[in-house]
Amino acid sequence: MNDACVLLGKPNAHGSIFRFEGQASVFAYRGGPCYRCLYPEPPPPGLVPSCAEGGVLGVLPGLIDPVQATEVVKLILGIGESLAGRLLLYDALAMRFREVKLRRDPECPVCGDHPSIRELIDYHEFCGVPGGMDVTELKAKMDRHERFVLVDVREPLEYQICRIPGARLIPLGELPKRANELDPSEEIVVHCKSGVRSAKAVEFLTKAGFGKVKNLQGGILAWSDKIDESVPKY
Ligand SMILES: [Zn+2]
């Protein structure tokens, strides 16, 4: 999103939440810093917990979203002082707001003086999510009655909400002790909600000697979007 905003010359009213913390800023506005000035590269996929694992305090979006919306209204009206060049940090446990100054990085790969990124790139590859299988490919495999095992690494509660037909539930946290339930000679397709946890499962299984493991890109959300819209999103 940041790259798209910089390339189109549109400001990005940014907000992010994680556990008990939130951040907000306005990036790529009138020569101000962009998100990549702050974080030039994404963290390795193994370090990024999903919402189901990391969790977000339920009221946090209710605090950060209105900050973003307020910034958007101000930008449209051209009034007030925007958050451009400032990062607002919120710590719910300490109940404290802080602010740090941000500067544009002249070395920034997208908004710097000599940018190396001039068009949108392959973000799956960039974020290190191992190449996998598209949901339409999975559906075609099912329709052809091919032999493979579909493993769902979400939590039991998520499995109760919705599931892909034939998927077998092994929550990511139980995978190390339950991997022996799977046959390394069989083709295995792993899915979760959006593809992050399943990427970790694929990494784990591959290291454990499973040779034919694939990650379902976009998880059950993509399945709901492209294959079966009766599968609820949550
Ligand atoms: Zn930048």
Contacts for 21 with CB less than 8 Å, ≥ 6 apart: 60, 89, 90, 91, 92
Q: What is the CATH number of the domain that holds 220?
A: 3.40.250.10
Strand partners, 22: 17, 90
Residues with CB under 5 A from ligand 1 (ion): 34, 36-37, 108, 111
Domain boundary among the residues 126, 145, 173 is at 126
Report the alpha-carbon distance of residue 192 to residue 203 in Å, rounded: 14
What spacing in Å lies between the alpha carbon of 34 and ligand 1's midpoint? 4
* Structural domain of 14: 2-126
- Phi first, then psi, for residue 16 (nearest 5°) are -145, 150
Write down the pLDDT at residue 47.
67
Q: Report if residue 31 sits inside a domain.
A: yes
**Average pLDDT of span 132-155:** 94
Write down the pLDDT at residue 46.
60
- Provide the domain count of the chain: 2
Report the alpha-carbon distance of residue 234 to residue 232 in Å, rounded: 6
Looking at the annotation, which residues are catalytic? 51, 192
The number of beta carbons lying within 10 Å of the beta carbon of residue 36 is 22
Q: Report if residue 232 sits inside a domain.
A: no
Weakest mean pLDDT among 116-125, 156-165, 190-199, 218-227: 116-125
What spacing in Å lies between the alpha carbon of 33 and ligand 1's midpoint? 5
What spacing in Å lies between the alpha carbon of 111 and ligand 1's midpoint? 4
**Looking at the predicted structure, is the pLDDT value of residue 141 above 80?**
yes
What spacing in Å lies between the alpha carbon of 45 and ligand 1's midpoint? 22
Domain boundary among the residues 99, 126, 153 is at 126
Q: What is the CATH number of the domain that holds 40?
A: 3.40.50.720
Same domain for 139 and 121: no
Same domain for 145 and 116: no
Report the alpha-carbon distance of residue 111 to residue 43 in Å, rounded: 20
Question: Residue 211's pLDDT band (boundaries 50, 70, 90)?
Answer: confident
Same domain for 140 and 113: no
pTM over 0.75: no
Judge contact between 126 and 143, C-beta under 8 A: no
Q: Report if residue 165 sits inside a domain.
A: yes
Write down the pLDDT at residue 55.
84
Write down the pLDDT at residue 196.
84
Q: Report if residue 234 sits inside a domain.
A: no
Same domain for 142 and 220: yes
Same domain for 121 and 86: yes
pLDDT digits (tens, 9 = 90+) for 110-139: 999 999 999 998 776 676 665 588 899 999
Q: Report if residue 85 sits inside a domain.
A: yes
Q: Report if residue 110 sits inside a domain.
A: yes
pLDDT digits (tens, 9 = 90+) for 39-71: 988 876 666 776 666 789 999 999 999 999 999
Same domain for 199 and 173: yes
pLDDT digits (tens, 9 = 90+) for 61-114: 999 999 999 999 999 999 999 999 999 999 999 999 999 999 999 999 999 999
Sign of CA dihedral 182, 218, 127, 39: negative
Domain boundary among the residues 108, 126, 144 is at 126
The stretches of the chain forming alpha helices (DSSP H) are 2-8, 35-38, 51-54, 60-77, 123-126, 135-143, 156-161, 175-178, 196-207, 219-226
Same domain for 10 and 111: yes
Q: How would DSSP label each residue in 85-104?
A: TEEEEEETTTTEEEEEE---
Write down the pLDDT at residue 130.
57
Write down the pLDDT at residue 204.
92
For the chain, the 3-state helix, strand and coil shares in percent, each to the nearest 5, are: 35, 20, 45
What spacing in Å lies between the alpha carbon of 32 and ligand 1's midpoint? 8
